[in-house]
Homo-oligomer: A and B are copies of this chain.
């Protein structure tokens, strides 16, 4: 009888633009969950390495013994991951993809958490800034190779919440995508983070609404004396 060796295979998550607040907070949250290894990418690889060291330090401080690892490098270097999260401003997405090279995204699961916004802070409201395609997601889909499986997720989590690691995140996270298997894989990733609740929110055509909820919750915060408004569908 042959001996079977059981080995936990972790999906690897690459975060492009991983040195911002959201990217680094997301890396910590995913690593703490323990089910994924994370690579942080940046235009400046040294900065990404420092950020990754910060995540590793944080894991050891929190006595996480689950063995998830975090490394840093160039944006291109993180594209060997199974799931690539785009965490750069919308107006930098196209040039970032071009710099890395479109072919790096062939057959990859790509996640956009990007919500382009028009800001009217004096008048106390924000609006979605929809590109001609109808949503950032539909515009980004056109920038990627046809074989890439684009999904949206994490759009409405308040950016300030990612780094507050002692706070549980129990929000609903709407996940859109045209590839059902990729969507399931991304919903599993969402479920691995704190107490987030992934919800199937339909095909990529539905992403415009999810993207517009972020300027809405910022508006609600500004006008109703709230902070870091959470979104719950239940």
The answer to whether A231 and B230 touch across the interface, beta carbons within 8 angstroms, is no
A233 in contact with B217 given A202-B125, A208-B212, A224-B199 (CB within 8 Å): yes
CA A226 to CA B233, docked complex, whole Å = 10
Q: Residue A195 at the B interface, CB < 8 A?
A: no
Q: Which of B127, B230, B231 is close to A206, meaning CB atoms less than 8 Å apart?
A: B127
CA A215 to CA B209, docked complex, whole Å = 9
The answer to whether A174 and B216 touch across the interface, beta carbons within 8 angstroms, is yes
Residue of A124, A202, A212 with most chain B CB atoms under a 10 A cut-off:
A202
CA A39 to CA B231, docked complex, whole Å = 35
User: In angstroms, how far is the closest chain B Cβ from the Cβ of A171?
Assistant: 10
What are 24 residue pairs bridging A and B, where the CB atoms are less than 8 Å apart in the complex? A124-B202, A125-B202, A125-B203, A125-B206, A127-B205, A127-B206, A174-B216, A199-B220, A200-B224, A201-B216, A201-B220, A201-B223, A202-B223, A206-B219, A209-B212, A209-B215, A213-B213, A216-B233, A220-B233, A226-B234, A229-B234, A230-B233, A230-B234, A231-B232
Which residues from chain A sit less than 8 Å from chain B, CB to CB?
123-125, 127-128, 174, 199-203, 205-206, 208-210, 212-213, 215-217, 219-220, 223-224, 226, 229-234
